[in-house]
């Protein structure tokens, strides 16, 4: 069966510091990968998605970036965090067209 791992679960960072969140998927190959942000009490905002190694599509222009160095690894990064980057970050994988996505347990990021 497929599993998705996301870490860390909680992160507290100062403003202006860098960020690296990692997500890995097991039990499947060539998945579509997604990074979402969820503000408190709000829906899911798609940040990036990837359909293959090195292929990244950005949905929201901001100071975050994503990379996919390996087939089942997806990384969310920032060089300098802003207060507005606080939130709940979720990684997900999916298959093909209009197929369900499956989520990790998320990283709660607080910027001080």
Partner 1 sequence: QKEVEQDPGPLSVPEGAIVSLNCTYSNSAFQYFMWYRQYSRKGPELLMYTYSSGNKEDGRFTAQVDKSSKYISLFIRDSQPSDSATYLCATGGSHSNYQLIWGAGTKLIIKP
Provide the minimum distance between the beta carbon of 4 and partner 1 in the complex, in angstroms, as a whole number: 8
Closest CA to 109 of 60, 36, 3: 36
Q: How far is the CB of 25 from partner 1 (least distance, A)?
A: 13
Footprint of partner 1 on 21-50 (CB under 8 A): 32, 41-44, 46, 49
Give the integer Cα–Cα distance in Å for 47 and 64: 9
When asked if residue 61 is in the footprint of partner 1 (CB under 8 A), the reply is no
Separation of alpha carbons 93 and 18, rounded Å: 25
Q: Is 108 in the site for partner 1 (CB under 8 A)?
A: yes
User: Binding of partner 1 at residue 11 (CB under 8 A)?
Assistant: no
CA dihedral of 80, 105, 52, 54, whole degrees rounded to 10: 20
Centre a 10 Å sphere on the Cβ of residue 17 and count the other Cβ atoms it contains: 12
Q: Using CB under 8 A, which of 35, 94, 109, 111 touches partner 1?
A: 94
**Which span sits near partner 1 by CB under 8 A: 13-21, 62-70, 71-79, 104-112?**
104-112
**Residues 76 and 88: beta-carbon distance below 8 Å:** no
Question: Which residues lie near partner 1 (CB under 8 A)?
Answer: 6, 32, 41-44, 46, 49, 51, 57, 59, 88, 90, 92, 94, 96-106, 108
């Amino acid at each position: 069966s497929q599993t998705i791992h996301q870490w860390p679960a909680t992160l507290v960072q100062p403003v202006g510091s860098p960020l690296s969140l990692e997500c890995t998927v097991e039990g499947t190959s060539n998945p579509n990968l997604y990074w979402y942000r969820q503000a408190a009490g709000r829906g899911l905002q798609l940040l990036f998605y990837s359909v293959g190694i090195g292929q990244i599509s950005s949905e929201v222009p901001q100071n975050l970036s994503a990379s996919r160095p390996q087939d089942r690894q997806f990384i969310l990064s920032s060089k300098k965090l802003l207060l507005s980057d606080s939130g709940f970050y979720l990684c997900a994988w999916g298959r093909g067209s209009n197929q369900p996505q499956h989520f990790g347990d998320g990283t709660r990021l607080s910027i001080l």
